[in-house]
């Protein structure tokens, strides 16, 4: 086992969970895009955050990251691509790597991107979320890349370096075409581009795609009073569990999720 607790997402909910778990001496890995790339970091002042009136979004995230690091939480920068309960542990794949923990807390915030037409149907049959994981299957083939992931350019360069013919498209209004496999994409203007693979390189991944079988309601992860989801060893906290999308609720749920995940570990 690599860690007691894995945390997907380095926002206020995930960082609070990490702080709480480290204060109880559990080993913790926070898997996240750069926490300072969060839209929250652009907020000029938090008027309603208890005890720190006027703190900027960036300062709050910086302080939380420092507190978690100082307490001994480890960080792995990158996108978590899938979460798989394995019975007594949970496996999380990060880019083209995998880590194992006794439990995982999902705190990815809200996924602002609606799924594209054809995305769910063709996932794994030409649609991929990770170029460095699946690129080799498309060597010498035509692929389309779209998204806003922080490492988007690197992923595109990787595909070019292994001999893929890459076209970059805007995500908005894109449809993915195909039957048994991907045959092309259609953009918002109705123009079609033939291709054999589509790499959707978004900063965040919708919860139901991140963890197959995860119960959601209106796009939010369903949790019980202990912040447990329907999947064994998988907890969730923060904006991803639904309204209100507010800091105080995110940190409260992060603390609760860590508390109950550790209680279940014994
Ligand atoms: C501009 C702005 C101003 C705001 N002002 C206020 C305010 O004044 N008061 C208030 O109460 N609330 C405010 N909010 C809302 C508040 O920021 C959120 O409620 C809070 O940030 C939720 O915390 P979270 O940890 O659940 O998610 P987030 O803060 O969204 O953090 C999620 C993190 O997970 C990362 N991530 C997502 N998916 C993956 C993945 N697959 N792999 C790796 N990493 C991933 C994201 O990049 C991000 O870093 C504001 C939000 C914004 C954007």
Q: Which residues contact 137 (CB under 8 A, 6 or more apart)?
A: 197
> Domain ranges in the chain?
3-112+206-265, 119-200
Is 205 within 8 Å of 8 (Cβ atoms)?
Answer: no
**Euclidean distance between the first and the last CA atom of the chain, given in angstroms as a whole number:** 16
- Ligand 1 test: best mutation among 29, 30, 36, 40, most atoms within 8 Å of CB? 40
Instruction: Report the atom number in ligand 1 closest to the C-alpha of 205.
Output: 41
- What is the pairing mode between strands 74-77 and 197-200? unpaired
CB of 144 closer than 6 angstroms to any ligand 1 atom: no
- At residue 216, the pLDDT reads 93
On whether the CB atoms of residues 224 and 236 are closer than 8 A, the answer is no
Q: State the Cα–Cα distance between residues 265 and 67, nearest whole angstrom.
A: 24
pLDDT recorded at residue 130: 84
Query: Can you tell me which atom of ligand 1 is nearest the CA of 47?
Result: 8
Centre of ligand 1 to C-alpha 110, Å, is: 7
- Is residue 109 in contact with ligand 1, taking CB distance under 6 Å? yes
Compute, in angstroms, the gap from residue 171 CA to the centroid of ligand 1.
Answer: 21
Mean per-residue pLDDT pooled into runs of 10, the chain (266 residues): 94 98 97 90 87 93 98 96 94 92 96 83 89 90 93 93 96 95 96 96 85 92 98 97 94 98 93
In short, whether 246's Cβ falls inside 6 Å of ligand 1 is yes
Over residues 182-200, the pLDDT tens digits come to 999 999 999 999 999 999 9
Task: Give me the pLDDT at residue 47, please.
Answer: 82
CATH number of 3-112+206-265: 3.50.50.60
| Look-up of token digits 């690091």 | 69
Q: Which pLDDT belongs to residue 206?
A: 85
Within 10 angstroms of residue 218's Cβ, the number of other Cβ atoms is: 7
The answer to whether the 3-112+206-265 and 119-200 domains have the same CATH topology is yes
Q: Is 39 in the pocket of ligand 1 (CB under 6 A)?
A: yes
Give the CATH number of domain 119-200.
3.50.50.60
pTM value is 0.89
Alpha-carbon distance of 27 to 71, in angstroms, equals 10
Q: Is 40 in the pocket of ligand 1 (CB under 6 A)?
A: yes
CA of 185 to the centre of ligand 1 (A): 31
Report CA(172)–ligand 1 centroid distance (Å).
22
Give the number of the atom of ligand 1 that is nearest the alpha carbon of residue 45.
8
The pLDDT value given to residue 1: 67
State if residue 79 touches ligand 1 by the CB under 6 angstroms criterion: yes
Q: Ligand 1 mean position to 182 CA, how many Å?
A: 33
Q: What is the pLDDT of residue 218?
A: 87
């Amino acid at each position: 086992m690599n860690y007691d607790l894995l945390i997907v997402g380095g926002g206020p909910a995930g960082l609070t969970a990490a702080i709480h778990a480290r204060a109880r001496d559990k080993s913790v890995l926070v898997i996240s895009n750069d926490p300072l790339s969060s839209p929250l970091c652009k907020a000029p002042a938090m008027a309603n955050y208890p005890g720190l009136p006027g703190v900027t979004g960036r300062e709050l995230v910086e302080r939380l990251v420092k507190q978690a690091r100082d307490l001994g939480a480890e960080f792995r920068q990158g996108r978590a691509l899938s979460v798989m309960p394995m019975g007594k542990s949970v496996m999380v794949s990060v880019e083209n790597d995998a880590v194992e923990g006794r439990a995982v807390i999902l705190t990815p915030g809200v996924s602002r991107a609606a799924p594209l037409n054809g995305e769910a149907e063709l996932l794994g049959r030409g649609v991929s979320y990770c170029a460095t994981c699946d690129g080799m299957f498309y060597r010498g083939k035509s692929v389309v890349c779209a998204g806003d992931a922080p490492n988007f350019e690197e992923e595109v360069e990787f595909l070019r370096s292994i001999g893929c013919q890459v076209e970059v498209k805007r995500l908005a209004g894109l449809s993915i075409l195909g039957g048994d496999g991907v045959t092309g994409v259609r953009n918002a203007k109705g123009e079609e581009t033939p291709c054999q693979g589509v790499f959707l390189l978004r900063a965040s991944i919708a919860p139901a795609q991140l963890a197959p079988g995860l119960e959601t309601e209106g796009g939010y992860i369903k949790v019980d009073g202990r912040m447990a989801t329907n999947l064994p060893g998988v907890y969730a906290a923060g904006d991803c569990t639904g309204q209100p999308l507010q800091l105080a609720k995110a940190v409260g749920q992060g603390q609760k999720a860590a508390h109950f995940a550790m209680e279940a570990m014994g």
